[in-house]
Amino acid sequence: MIGKLNHVAIVVPDLAAASAIYRDTLGGDVSEPVNLREHGVTTVFVNLPNTKIELLHPFGDDSPIAKFLENNPSGGMHHVCYEVDDILAARDKLKADGARVLGDGDPKIGAHGKPVLFLHPKDFCGTLVELEQV
């Protein structure tokens, strides 16, 4: 079912500092920041030859990652995102296997404009898993 690793998301306390670390210290190909008001995050991408690192920072007053940053003030790895061909088929298979889909269980349009689901970390080795239909 799962295909490519679309990205690894890392929540950071300071996007400019994180961009500098990934661009200047690690020599990565780093994008400009983009504010995604409806998702409550600002994103910066580190484009690697085979996948992406998504640097995330809270945007606005009701960010879904505000609590994570409170608990991890230096930042930290937040989730991994796997690509799937058919997100509804994936969702149904996962639910049949007893895995918990976060929210109301319906795919939402994610930060990249594609349907996504998030899976409960307790069902996936303590790791928040995003599935994205590509």
Cα dist. 18→47, 53, 130 in Å?
Answer: 14, 11, 22
Contacts to a copy of itself from residues 78-107, by CB under 8 A: 80, 82, 93-94, 97, 99
Alpha-helix residue ranges (DSSP H) falling in 7-116: 15-20, 66-71, 87-96
- Please check whether residue 110 is in contact with residue 132, taking contact to mean a CB–CB distance below 8 angstroms: yes
CB closer to a copy of itself, 38 vs 86 = 86
Q: Please say if 32 is a catalytic residue.
A: no
Residues that bind a copy of itself (CB under 8 A): 1-5, 8, 10-13, 18, 21, 24-28, 48-51, 53, 55, 72, 74-77, 80, 82, 93-94, 97, 99, 121-127, 129
Q: Report, as residue numbers or ranges, the catalytic residues.
A: 130
